[in-house]
Chain A
Amino acid sequence: MARAVTTQRKAINTAIAWIVGLLIFFPILWTILTSFKTEAEAIANPPVFLFFDWTLENYGVVQERSNYMRFLWNSVFLAGGSTLLGIIIAVPAAWSMAFVPSKRTKDILLWMLSTKMLPAVGVLYPIYLLCIRLGVLDNRFALVVVLMLINLPIIVWMLYTYFKEIPGEILEAARMDGAGLKEELLYVLTPMAVPGIASTILLNFILAWNEAFWTLNLTSVDAAPLTAFIASYSSPEGLFFAKLSAASTMAIAPILILGWFSQKQLVRGLTFGAVK
């Protein structure tokens, strides 16, 4: 039976949720505001919030200095490619772990997750040398594979959790009706797990978009994504906050818009199976 919630309690909960939400959003808001200030206003003490001379000059400078579209395209390619490749590999893997588990399935799942605990810098040199030998430094396809491998444990884990919620009897019934493995995966399992798969895709797209270690270390010109674009606006000597904020705003805008439009699917997917 649902617990009765008073109007007053509801109002308090709503207010707390708004405060927490605004606190989390504030750094992003501040970055966006700073991008419209001059360099002098960006470092003013006390800081100015809204009442300053709004200017688009920083965006003009960034646009003039950097080929934003090239960085953006690389980010889309790397995030999209690595997520797609990851899903193609992870769906069958998660299926087998969820519906035909072996004695070692749990161990394999834990081992996969443990690879995420390895500091990336620990394998920088082996991977860098491998890329040199294969002639794929600063190559988009190589980076797609690297990013896919980094995120694969999370993709497999998420899909495994979603698949576990689907009754095995439904798949059995499909098999009895003559469905082969391909049909079972494509026409029975996938449609039932769409919210889970969608949220996995979204989350991994965001993770790959924001990945800044490998994308900075394995690229120079051709494959450099928006993380490299942002890194080029920080300076050890000189004022750069306003221009850096403009570059950051341009880098996060696509993912913010994507997140805004897909938040329903994201929340649905993340809470899928949470309430029984």
Chain B
Amino acid sequence: MSTKRVLCATTALVLTATAATAQDTTITIATVNNGDMIRMQGYTDQFTEETGIAVEWVTLEENVLRQRVTTDITTNGGQFDIMTIGMYETPIWGANGWLVPLDGLSEEYNVEDILPAMRGGLSHDGTLYAAPFYGESSMVMYRTDLMEEAGLEMPDAPTWEFIREAAAAMTDRDAGINGICLRGKPGWGEGGAFITAMSNSFGARWFDMDWQAQFDTQEWADTLNFFNDMMQESGPDGFETNGFNENLSLFQQGLCGMWIDATVAASFVTNPDDSEVADSVGFALAPDNGLGVRSNWLWAWALAIPAGTQQQDAALQFIEWATSSDYIELVAENEGWANVPPGARTSLYENPNYIEVPFAQMTLDSILSADPNNSTVEESPYVGVQFAAIPEFAGIATEVSQEFSNAYAGQQTIEEALERAQAITNEAMEAAGYQ
């Protein structure tokens, strides 16, 4: 009798557990600790209520995340059902068959609404492999009061010469004000990204059509000399170690006249809770040199499904929810239009409520003026604005940017840095079989 009872109870327990497992799908998402991502985590309960799909978040520092998801995806580890990746990884991983093509998105999702530049950067051979959660370009953020004091007026589309002149005029060393703050920190995504985007506007490129490095050209020498001279004249001390966060901190404390960086920073510098200069910030397009290419970059943090996942349908459902127009409206309703994830959807910029946000139009114009398929003055064999979308680029550009930072710090000359960059790049490209 007692054995029977035990058997019945065990069977009931197993059945209940099986039923519960069938109902309770859980997906694991790897992401970075950016404001928009953290905000999304706060709304996850709503997604779970609507779909019954539970979500586990693994939030990691950007470089740790890259290493972690790369290890997992190359070994088919299946630890994550959704990965937060950028424009650099998406086409490479898509080409390798490591990502699930996002061709099963519903009609209501309206994939055509995604900004064409974002769609292009997150696709390989015309197939979308990641949906942009938010997108960004780069632009000039400047202090309107200091610009006025200097007797200058910022054009909507300035040149590098104007920027240099304005930086010198706004610099006040006694008051601790630096005319301009720019990234000089080593790293392909830090100083490397900035100088590459800047070099595009000077007519430089990383590789010619035979994948030969181009650091021995006049265009690269002009780019680096201009950057270094301007920063020595008007930049902060130790700019060679400053990245996004260091410059954000300086700008928010009123210690920078101008800052050229990610458009996403606009919401930080205009937030009166954190910024001492929130009410005196203006925006302009990233500078150019009259060669037809501006110095702004293009980037998106996007959600992709690794090929090794067992929860493909649930993952796709989440991506549709998180990158939809409905999600944008949900955030706007609760936190205001200035806090919605920017730069991903065309309809956002057609929304009269959003266009009133001071930096909205300039962000859109910046994104639209960046073309990852045609980012250099002379023809180049790679896709990407501030990077070349080849697997070897991250390693090479990190080394090259280290050489540049050493030159900014005075440890070597600009010419020596360029010579070393040329040697490093050609050596790596030859070893990788490009040359």
Contact = CB atoms under 8 A, between A and B. Distances in A.
A232 B34 CA distance: 10
Contacts of A221: 28, 56, 58
Contacts of A40: 252, 273-274, 276
B80 A43 contact: no
Contacts of B276: 40
A40 B262 CA distance: 20
Nearest to A45: B253
A138 B33 contact: no
A220 B56 CA distance: 9
B30 interface: yes
Interface of B is mostly: mixed
Contacts of B72: 128
Given A43-B253, A45-B255, A220-B30, A232 B60 contact: yes
Given A65-B38, A129-B75, A217-B71, A237 B60 contact: no
Contacts of B380: none
Contacts of A44: 253
Interface in B64-99: 64, 67-68, 71-72, 75-80
Given A137-B79, A220-B28, A220-B30, A239 B268 contact: yes
A68 interface: no
Given A124-B71, A220-B30, A239 B253 contact: no
Contact of A236 (B34, B56, B59, B76): B34
Given A40-B252, A220-B80, A235 B32 contact: yes
A128 B38 CA distance: 28
A231 interface: yes
A138 B76 CA distance: 14
Contacts of B60: 216, 228, 231-232
A44 B274 CA distance: 11
A13 to B, nearest CB: 37
B41 interface: yes
A221 B290 CA distance: 51
A65 B59 CA distance: 11
Contact of A216 (B68, B78, B80, B245): B68
Contacts of B101: none
Nearest to A240: B33
B249 interface: yes
Scoring A224, A231, A233 by chain B CB atoms within 10 A of each residue's CB, the highest score goes to: A231
Given A132-B75, A236-B32, 18 more contacts: A43-B249, A45-B250, A132-B77, A132-B78, A138-B79, A216-B68, A220-B56, A231-B61, A232-B33, A233-B33, A234-B33, A234-B61, A235-B62, A236-B34, A236-B61, A237-B35, A237-B244, A237-B245
